[in-house]
Amino acid sequence: MIFDFHAHLRRNAQSHQYEIEEQLEDMRANHIAYRVLSTFEGASMASANNAVIALHQQYPQIIPCAVINPKQDEAVAETRRVLSNHQVRLIEMDSLECGFLPEKLESTINAILDVCAQHQAVVKIFTGSTHRGAPDQWLKYFRRFPQLTFVLLHMGAGDFQYGTVDLCQEVPNLMLETSVACEAPALQKALRVLAPERFLFGSDFPEYFTELEVMKLNYYGLTKTQLQNIYAENARRLLPDLFEDAKAVNVCG
């Protein structure tokens, strides 16, 4: 049983229906007990976030994560709205998908993070894929909000993976999500120098294959306890109220 901390919900371009069935089937096939879902697709930021909130109400194994685009005028208000709904405990900011540079939106991002701090929300940050995904451009925010947990999606991917590991050694309020981390020596270094409590398993489904993301971690000879931490226990410790029904997991067969 696995908790997937990062996946995205697709929407059919013609029908505008969200493709939840592919998510549920993939979860069944790969023994995913819970999946954190967000989507960038919808008529507006609010409508996209409402879609994942509605899916959580229908499928409790879906954990809603709200996408916040700090370029949009309503970004702070939307953050306040979604986090006032106690079903939402995570937000995601993606500088590549939404096309922004964090240092140019300091006032808005500070206001967003102020709201997150008030609600003790977890903040997911896109990393990797060109200069827009450089983790260190967020450093001043990590340090300004030490009470928040920031989850670096993709561990910097192939572009910034080594530097991301070094950054996590310096900044204690960071956690690493494992999907798309494709530089094997860098991932091996991360697993060696950082405590297993700093990692969260993610698939980035449907852009990537969940089965391969699971197989990737099994390659490194981790102990059963280490795998249990990465696959499930860290997520439960981070957000116990969202995973309160989860029992002890066995991810090693």
Q: What is the pLDDT of residues 9-20, one digit of tens each?
A: 999 999 999 999
Confidence at 244, pLDDT banded by 50, 70, 90: low
Segments of 88-224 assigned E as strands: 90-93, 122-126, 150-153, 174-177, 199-200
pLDDT in tens, 126-136: 999 888 889 99
- Measured CA to CA, the distance from residue 3 to residue 184 in angstroms comes to 22
- For the whole model, what pTM was predicted? 0.94
| Span 236-241, average pLDDT | 92
Share of the chain above pLDDT 70, in %: 96
User: In which band, very low, low, confident or very high, does the pLDDT at 248 lie, cut at 50, 70 and 90?
Assistant: very low
Output 18-27 pairs: Cβ under 8 A, ≥24 positions apart: 18/51, 18/55, 20/55, 20/59, 20/62, 22/206, 23/62, 23/205, 23/206, 24/59, 26/203, 26/205, 26/206, 26/210, 27/61
Q: Across-strand partners of 90?
A: 122
pLDDT at 242: 82
pLDDT at residue number 130 = 80
Record the tokens describing residue 52, joined without a space.
Answer: 């994942």
3-class DSSP assignment, residue 34: strand
pLDDT in tens, 36-87: 999 999 999 999 999 999 999 999 999 999 999 999 999 999 999 999 988 9
Distances (CA, A) of 5 to 101, 124, 244: 24, 10, 15
Asked if 182 contacts 127 with a C-beta cutoff of 8 angstroms, the reply is: no
